[in-house]
Amino acid sequence: MSDPTTIRRLYGRRSGHKLRQGQAALLEELLPAISVPEGPIDAGTLFGDDRPLHFEIGFGSGEHLAFRADLLPDHGFIGAEPFLNGVVGALTHIRDQRLANVRLHMGDALEVLERLPDASLRFVYLLHPDPWPKARHAKRRMVNHGPLDLVSRKLQQSGELRLGTDDPTYCRWSMMVMDQRSDFEWLAEKPEDFLTRPGGWPETRYEAKARRKGHEVWYFRYRRL
């Protein structure tokens, strides 16, 4: 089955409401200074030293990315997001919190992941990805074996993949796909372990909106074996 690693196509919208003048200035001035460069990349290329690296696939408006970067200032954070307004949101957090340890890519996360060395990432985050609930769209889901093979290669041994979703179909699908893999260990011993948000995992605007709608939210943590 084709999945995001073979389709090589981003689905969904790229922009929303028109940018205000200050937002457009952020995009023109700050984004080029902190964008992921072309070619092979590593901690030294991105941050000038050897440090633990984190990668967020689709960072929304950047709340989680900024929270983690502020919490761990000696780590390096890479975020990829195709949605223009989401990138502007992340830039706002980076400016306001004066975060020097974040690099952004407006586009395909997999293209950036491919350019990182194998076993170079401490954490990979996939929070509330597009669920594509219809069965015929299952190949578009990021939780498929092609993307997971890539994530597995880039994670260090004992590195962690974190997945959050409020979509029941995506929850069941993810559990099924991850159960088929021998390279990840699910870090849950009881239901509370995936029904309660772990420490250091902030509530995002999207998650708060989901809860206001009465949705359950599931938190999955997997260790790379």
- Residues assigned a catalytic role: 130
Q: Please, are residues 105 and 80 in contact by the beta-carbon 8 Å criterion?
A: yes
Q: How far apart, in whole angstroms, are the C-alpha atoms of residue 120 and residue 54?
A: 9
- Pairing relation of β-strands 155-165 and 218-224? antiparallel
56 closest CA partner among 9, 105, 6: 105
CA distance 108 to 122: 20
Whole-angstrom distance, CA of residue 69 vs CA of residue 64: 8
Q: What are phi and psi of 109, to 5 degrees?
A: -65, -35
In this structure, what is the dihedral angle of CA atoms 145, 79, 87, 138, given to the nearest 10 degrees? 10
Residue 158: HSE in the Cβ half-sphere, 13 Å Cα cutoff: 1
> How far is residue 5's CA from residue 151's CA, in Å, rounded to a whole number?
11
Taking CA atoms, 215 is separated from 102, 105, 196, in Å, by 31, 30, 14
